[in-house]
Structure 1
Amino acid sequence: MAEGFLRPSNGRMEDEGNKYFNDLLANSFFQYVKRNECEIVTSCKMHDLALQVSKSEALNLEEGSAVDGASHIRHLNLVSRGDDEAALTAVDAKKLRTVFSMVDVLNGPWKFKSLRTLKLRRSDITELPDSICKLRHLRYLDVSDTAIRALPESITKLYHLETLRFTDCKSLEKLPQKVRNLVSLRHLHFDDPKLVPAEVRLLTRLQTLLIFAVGPDHMVEELGCLKELRGALKICKLEQVRDREEAEKAELSGKTMNRLFASLAHKQGTVLSMIFWRVVCAIRQKW
């Protein structure tokens, strides 16, 4: 999807991608597939033939590996925390479309002009540079499980970004104010209720939103604006929804949800608990 290969005339890119993946799986190009509870593929192995074919454009670089003659590489995986400078000097950074790295590759001299996918999961980054906005072709960004403290406001200029992941970022306390400008965003992965983007209702292409926290800055009716929302969703602080009528404005009964979780911020009295369960019933009606 990040490469721009999936452009179905009708239907979702994700459905088209799943079809292609299942076709390759049926022909044993992929093996040992693992899926999560929502049937999303989390890992798989490639057949030896597929690995051989991919070597013309992809490189998995482990510590001590030779990197001579790698200027043709388009997809780079820096497996270890070794000499990333030597690796990125050997390849042509301007031609790279995918980088998986456990080290900070954004604060060096390399110019990633064609980058579509950047995965920095479990890397040693603590911040992203303001210059990340220059990665104008970027579709996928993952900074999960890092010590990153903030996302720069310039990240909201990545108008083609479709997937943003920042789960298990314990030091991340807030998001940029203008996340609403990420008009192409389809999948937003995070696990901290405090990090629900401001004006999330304006991200109308959003399909994945794992957590939504009701409060003064986020009314449950915002979910009603996210017509494409599907999959799993956890709604926190549901006791702040006043009544059934307000809950129905979330319009979850009309969405393709397969898992719904609801939680209270703290223990409530009997009357409020009764309201809580009426709200849950309103949200789950027609399921």
Structure 2
Amino acid sequence: MAEGVLFNIAEGMIKSLGSPALQEIGLLCGFKDELQKLTNSVSTIKNVLLDAEEKQAHSHEVRDWLEKLKDAMYDADDLLDDSSTQLLRQQVMTRDKKAKQVRIFFSKSNQLVYGLKMGHRIKAVRARLDEIGNDQIKFGFTERLIVKHEFEHRKREDTHSFVREGQVIGREGEKKAVKELLFDYNVEEIISIIPIVGIGGIGKTTLAQYVFNDDEVKRHFELRLWVCVSDPFDVKTIVAKLIESATKKRPESLEMDLLQSQLRAETDGKLYLLVLDDVWSENRGTWLKLEILLSGGRKGSKVLITTRSKRVAEITGTMSPYLLGGLSESNSWNLFKKMAFKDGEEPKNPKLVEIGRVIVQKCAQVPLAIRSIGNYGIEVEVLIHLWAAQGFLHSSYGNRHLEDIGREYFMDLLWRSFFQDVQRDGLGEIIKCKIHDLIHDLAQSVADSLSNIPALLPKANKMRTLLLGIPILPGIDDYINENIAIHESNKPVSNTLISSFKCLRALNLSRSSIQKVPSSIGKLEHLRFLDLSRNADIKLLPASITKLQNLQTLRLDFCRGLKELPEDTRNLISLRHLGLNGCNSLTHMPYGLGKLIALQTLALYILGKKKSRLSKPKGELRDLDGLDELRGLLWIKGLEHSRSSPSEAKTANLERKQLRHLMLEWDPKSSEESDKAVANDEQLLQNLQPHLNLK
């Protein structure tokens, strides 16, 4: 979709083009004007992408136009990424190389050559974009603004209480069941609270409207009230809406004391039905404040709540929640006919009927919100890192971590039941989930239609994501075995294959039984995400991997044979996540990891034996000083090697790091029982004082 992919790419490009760093190199090398022209071209195209996306559903020409545009936009994005990579390399060189080498790199001749080359490339890609962009005139695209969603406030358009009976299909049984709950007097509570729970779009609001407008319900209850709650759950706002629903007038005053008095005057002593539609808040205290104000009604009064969250139902309900399932197959078909065909009549064309039946089978029989079957367990952290690698996450305000924004995206999709069956760690954090069955079925049906993907993979040189470690599409396993042979045969991954995908942002080779990572990995200069985890036979990584200055995530978890990290790992200056769980053969950390100031994940840090004059320098506790962005788990092993100098531990400054877990390990074989050793250990522990928020 344009909004989901091209629009994001366009926004990211405009942000990159306006960055001070790129502007500086453009000025230095003489192509700043070309950068401004490219910005104008991309901005012009971005403004019509949303309209083009909507119109492509009805026009093959528009679809073709978007395909051409996507190809050109990807090329332009890669070009800008080349410039950004050049800047990162300059930072590394400036930091670590000799002054003479730096002067050569920044010489006038180098600037001139680089500037001419880059200027021509930018001009060419801009001309291509302008040529494609000019075609938008014949399509009559209009500019649209995209609505930015704040995930903390999942506000939707207000619902109302009315629905015509003829508009509701297939909910007679559910209506009868809810009415029985409303008319039930065999309850202890004066006010009964009944939650209706179901996934987004399944018809909770429609069912509530259907019941609310029933003639028997109208006769039974003296007062009927309807409020759309959404989020945030603000008691004052809800009380004001309740008064307006009861009196058909807006309250004259918004003072809380006057509002609560007016609400109780309208509800106390009356048999009422209140519908609170679209409740999200899981704050029990806030709910109790509202419940107290509603408790004066006559016994038999009912509050009907619609929510997607079983947690909300547990907090609010005095009765067991009513779990709303999907429509029957026949009712699904009836609804589909009504929506898709003229006058709701089944078409005479049998092909259309067949297609419609397939759509109904895939999409209409919606399961209950909680189900245990999925296609695949997804690691939430990995998913967020993949989103970041593709540029889908943007921080539009403050210095927020992209990972926090990604977590909000995930939670929003979870609330909307895109994901399900979550697993939590010991501290309640969601670590795994499964994709919803409907989304899985849709993805599977799309994948089934792409039968030629395995054969086309080697030719897809502009591919941005390659997940060879996790078979996703039908036939991909056969392709891996036949063309790469990284399973049973343990043959190395082809240098040619890897180097042919030079546009990759994400590469997954986990669980692939490879013994050696090809040196060509260093040519993937756009790479942001590299997963080599669970390859027990990898002993060393190629030095070329440290050329990946854009790399954000490097997963090496459970590479049990890995002996050491490359000496120049400190050159991975964009690295945010270094996964080393289960790397039991690692003997030490390389020197200089403290330069990776963006690092957030470093689960394992191993102190080696003190270096001799002839040995390579190794990482020390003082190298942790600059890593103030570390979060999650930090496990420091080999502390026995720092026993002789416990004061060094203070330089790690653990108290500045927002860790959740901290593990400190000495080798028991090296334990000493002397008073001096015990005193040193105590001093070492004291100097490794963690942050007060440690869980």
- The aligned residue for residue 22 of structure 1 is 411
Structure 2 gap ranges (5+): 1-387, 470-479, 487-492, 611-617
Structure holding more helix per residue: 2
Structure 2 distance, partners of 1:38, 1:139, is 29
CA deviation digits over 1:111-131, x for unaligned, max 9?
Answer: 213322111111021111111
CA deviation digits over 1:8-46, x for unaligned, max 9?
Answer: 132101100001101111111011122445766543211
Give the counterpart of 1:8 among 395, 414, 418: 395
Give 1:259's aligned amino acid: H
Structure 2 distance, partners of 1:159, 1:13, is 18
CA deviation digits over 1:138-180, x for unaligned, max 9?
Answer: 1111112211232111111111111111122233222222111
Give 1:255's aligned amino acid: K
Give 2:593's aligned amino acid: V
Contact between 2:654 and 2:691, CA under 8 Å: does it hold in 1?
no
Structure 2 distance, partners of 1:66, 1:124, is 30
- The aligned residue for residue 96 of structure 1 is 463
Give 2:546's aligned amino acid: T
Q: Tell me the CA shift for residue 52 of structure 1.
A: 5.1
Give the counterpart of 1:48 among 433, 437, 446: 437
Q: Tell me the CA shift for residue 92 of structure 1.
A: 5.0
Map of 1:1-287 to 2, 5 A cutoff?
1-9=388-396, 10-37=399-426, 41-51=430-440, 54=443, 59=447, 67-70=450-453, 87-89=454-456, 92-102=459-469, 103=480, 104=484, 106-107=493-494, 109-110=496-497, 111-146=500-535, 147-190=537-580, 191-192=583-584, 193-215=586-608, 216=610, 217-239=618-640, 240-242=642-644, 245-265=647-667, 266-271=670-675, 272-284=677-689, 287=692
Distance 1:50 1:223, change over 3 A: same
Contact between 1:38 and 1:231, CA under 8 Å: does it hold in 2?
no
Distance 1:88 1:228, change over 3 A: farther
Structure 2 distance, partners of 1:33, 1:168, is 23
Contact between 1:158 and 1:182, CA under 8 Å: does it hold in 2?
yes
SS at match of 1:20: helix
Structure 2 distance, partners of 1:226, 1:198, is 14
SS at match of 1:212: strand
TM-score by length of 1: 0.81
Contact between 1:196 and 1:211, CA under 8 Å: does it hold in 2?
no
Give 1:141's aligned amino acid: L
Contact between 2:495 and 2:518, CA under 8 Å: does it hold in 1?
no
SS at match of 1:94: coil
SS at match of 1:50: helix
TM-score by length of 2: 0.36
Contact between 2:570 and 2:593, CA under 8 Å: does it hold in 1?
yes
Contact between 1:238 and 1:276, CA under 8 Å: does it hold in 2?
no
Deviates more, 1:28-37 or 1:203-212: 28-37
SS at match of 1:277: helix
Distance 1:42 1:99, change over 3 A: farther
Q: Tell me the CA shift for residue 182 of structure 1.
A: 0.6
Give 2:416's aligned amino acid: N
- The aligned residue for residue 78 of structure 1 is none
Structure 1 distance, partners of 2:630, 2:665, is 19
Give 1:47's aligned amino acid: H
Give 1:183's aligned amino acid: I
Structure 1 gap ranges (5+): 60-64, 71-86
SS at match of 2:554: strand
Structure 2 distance, partners of 1:101, 1:40, is 28
Contact between 1:115 and 1:137, CA under 8 Å: does it hold in 2?
yes
Deviates more, 1:228-237 or 1:211-220: 211-220
Contact between 1:214 and 1:241, CA under 8 Å: does it hold in 2?
no
CA deviation digits over 1:227-256, x for unaligned, max 9?
Answer: 211211111122314455422211111110
| More RCO (CA 8 Å, sep 6+) | 1
Structure 1 distance, partners of 2:505, 2:661, is 30
Contact between 2:424 and 2:430, CA under 8 Å: does it hold in 1?
yes
- The aligned residue for residue 79 of structure 1 is none
Q: Tell me the CA shift for residue 67 of structure 1.
A: 4.9
Distance 1:49 1:286, change over 3 A: closer
Q: Which has more radius of gyration?
A: 2
SS at match of 1:19: helix
Give 1:202's aligned amino acid: K
Contact between 2:587 and 2:607, CA under 8 Å: does it hold in 1?
no
Deviates more, 1:132-141 or 1:106-115: 106-115
Distance 1:230 1:98, change over 3 A: same
Give me the identity figure in percent: 37
Aligned residues: 265
Structure 1 distance, partners of 2:428, 2:391, is 23
SS at match of 1:136: coil
Distance 1:66 1:21, change over 3 A: closer
SS at match of 1:156: helix
